[in-house]
């Protein structure tokens, strides 16, 4: 079969032929004119259609595969990747599908805390106190870094709890990590960073943000000790973004050796890491590991938010930025929105200073540990052949199925039973691995986790019957 795609390249401009092919295919995929699963011409065919050499097409396809847009398999035609609506696919796995009022019977989505435990009373009190205390001057636009009381409270909190070297002057309050990451990517791109290494697997929204900032993605595999720093060192990446406290989505905690190696790499290359201190507050069986930023505050941009500790809806996060990037980052924040909402910042400052955040976390850690234990033991009974990992910290576990299980069929069977969950493949870039489910346990009480695990095991068995047919 000969496959044609509509691409036009020009030899008169400054853009290389490969860059033009990459750009047009990327745009076609992003805008939906090339749909997930669509077949593309082989490298040989496309080279012939466009009158370019084959390596030009091979390199362009390779880059698009690295960014998660294409699937390239030996002996098969290149296809637009299933996760190539990059932003939507994983986020939709984290959101209930179907009608907006539809609720899953068992909610195993990763990434979301128990929203029913949001401390409404304590927050209301902080909101009221914050509002009564906010000076008139702070009802103006003000400093784009955020209001002073919050920057002071967060610097104290992050130093005490995470070992972050944070002075309030280098703290920038953001609308969640999502905005922090976008500001930093823009800042790095302006500072001359071209290639940024990311963990593979990782969140596709992160990838999309980086591509939008004009950065080239360099995916680096992750194993049980976190990001593979030796692989990173063998690439030409100019910067790296990682989740060392609890790798998302594998759940790996970055080992001490890898942390040291990473800091060595940052110093040798004189470059920058973005530390997404994701899920750091939840740690059950091991003593807390401090933030990477504490090891080299001049080379690590630290990022965090209240999305997993309180609620994503607050849209409150922060960056701690090295001096050399501070002005540029603040300027990006100013251009983005002139600053995050002040009244909520005052409320969070009060909430942290009053010790409410510590109190809430103590309560939630106990609750989540019990739920984690219930899920792990229910899975051991119901699905003993599965390997459950990544549950020493965070709000979800990974459940590795047998090589012969088909992830898509398992997901379909699970959803048919009203079970919401995500699979690891939605987060992969270029890596491969056995079928693996991500089971969030934060939102369900223990009895629901036990019956949900039982029904999930039935779904896995039903999928095996289907796959065998
Ligand atoms: C890896 C990772 N880090 C951080 C966040 C938090 O993002 P935000 O603070 O913007 O809610 C998320 C949310 O999905 C995430 O997946």
Residue 193: C-alpha distances to residues 170, 174, 190, 196 (Å)? 21, 22, 7, 7
Two tokens, residue 349 = 């400052």
Given the structure tokens 């459950």, which residue do they identify? 388
Task: Tell me if 311 CB under 6 Å of ligand 1.
Answer: no
- Is the peptide bond preceding residue 102 cis, with omega within 30 degrees of 0? no
Task: Render 167-178 in DSSP notation, one character per residue.
Answer: -GGGEEEESHHH
Helix, strand or coil for residue 226? strand
Q: Is the CB of 318 under 6 A from ligand 1?
A: no
3-state secondary structure of 64: helix
Ligand 1 atom nearest residue 175's Cα? 10
174 lines ligand 1 (CB under 6 A): no
Task: Give 448 Cα–ligand 1 centroid separation in angstroms.
Answer: 26
Nearest-angstrom CA–CA distance, 17 and 47: 11
**Angle formed by the axes of helices 356-382 and 120-133, nearest 10°:** 150
Distance 23 CA to ligand 1 centre (A): 28
End-to-end distance of the chain based on CA atoms, in angstroms?
28
**pLDDT score at 34:** 79
Mark out the alpha helices in 134-175 (DSSP H runs): 148-162
Partners of residue 273 on adjacent β-strands = 240, 300
Quick one: pLDDT at residue 98? Answer: 52
Mean pLDDT by 10 residues, the chain (469 residues): 76 86 84 79 89 92 83 82 59 55 84 94 98 96 97 96 95 98 97 97 94 95 97 97 95 95 97 94 82 96 97 98 98 98 98 96 95 96 94 92 93 93 93 94 95 96 86
How confident is the model at residue 86, as a pLDDT?
Answer: 47
pTM > 0.85: yes or no: no
Strands (E), 251-370: 272-276, 300-305, 317-320
Q: Which of 305, 395, 429 to mutate to test ligand 1, by most ligand atoms within 8 A of the CB atom? A: 305
Query: Distance between alpha carbon 191 and the CA centroid of its chain, in Å?
Result: 23
Cα–ligand 1 centroid distance for 176 (angstroms): 7
Question: Is the Cβ atom of 96 under 6 angstroms away from ligand 1?
Answer: no
- Phi, psi of 390, rounded to the nearest 5 degrees: 70, 20
């Amino acid at each position: 079969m000969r496959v044609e795609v509509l691409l036009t390249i020009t030899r008169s401009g400054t853009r290389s032929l490969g860059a033009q092919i990459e750009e047009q295919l990327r745009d076609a995929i992003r805008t939906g004119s090339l749909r997930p699963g669509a077949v593309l011409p082989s490298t040989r065919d496309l080279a012939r259609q466009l009158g370019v050499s084959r390596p030009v097409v091979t390199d362009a396809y390779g880059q698009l595969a690295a960014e998660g847009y294409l699937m390239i398999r030996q002996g098969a035609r290149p296809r637009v990747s299933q996760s190539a609506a990059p932003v939507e696919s994983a986020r939709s796995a984290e959101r209930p599908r179907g009608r907006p009022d539809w609720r899953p019977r068992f909610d195993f989505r990763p990434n979301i805390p128990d929203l029913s435990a949001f401390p409404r009373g304590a927050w209301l009190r902080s909101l009221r106190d914050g509002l009564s205390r906010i000076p008139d001057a702070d009802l103006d636009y003000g400093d784009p870094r955020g209001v002073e009381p919050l920057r002071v409270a967060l610097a104290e909190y992050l130093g005490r709890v995470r070992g972050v070297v944070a002075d309030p002057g280098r703290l920038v309050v953001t609308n969640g990590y999502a905005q922090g990451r976008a500001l930093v990517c823009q800042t790095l791109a302006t500072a001359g960073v071209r290639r940024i290494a990311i963990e593979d697997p990782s969140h596709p929204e992160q990838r999309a943000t980086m591509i939008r900032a004009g950065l080239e993605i360099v995916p680096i595999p992750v194993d049980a000790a976190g990001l593979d720093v030796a692989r990173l060192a063998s690439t030409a990446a100019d910067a790296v973004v990682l989740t060392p406290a609890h790798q998302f989505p594998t759940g790996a905690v970055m080992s001490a050796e890898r942390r040291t190696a990473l800091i060595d790499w940052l110093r040798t290359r004189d470059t920058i890491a973005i530390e997404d201190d994701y899920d750091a507050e939840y740690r059950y069986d091991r003593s807390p590991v401090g933030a990477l930023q504490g090891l080299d505050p001049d080379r690590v941009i630290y990022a965090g938010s209240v999305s997993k500790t309180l609620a994503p809806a607050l849209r409150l996060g922060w960056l701690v930025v090295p001096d050399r990037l501070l002005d540029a980052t603040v300027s990006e924040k100013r251009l983005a929105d002139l600053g995050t909402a002040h009244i909520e910042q005052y409320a969070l400052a009060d909430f942290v200073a009053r010790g409410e955040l510590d109190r809430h976390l103590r309560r939630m850690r106990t609750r989540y540990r019990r739920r984690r234990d219930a899920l792990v033991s229910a899975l051991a009974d119901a699905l003993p052949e599965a390997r459950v990992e990544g549950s020493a910290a965070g709000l979800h576990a990974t459940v590795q199925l047998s090589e012969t299980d088909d992830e898509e069929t398992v997901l379909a069977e699970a959803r048919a039973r009203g079970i919401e969950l995500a699979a690891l493949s939605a987060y992969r870039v270029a890596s491969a691995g056995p079928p693996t489910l991500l089971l969030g346990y934060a939102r369900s009480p223990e009895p629901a986790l036990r019956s949900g695990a039982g029904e999930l095991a039935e779904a896995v068995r039903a999928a095996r019957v289907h796959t065998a047919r």
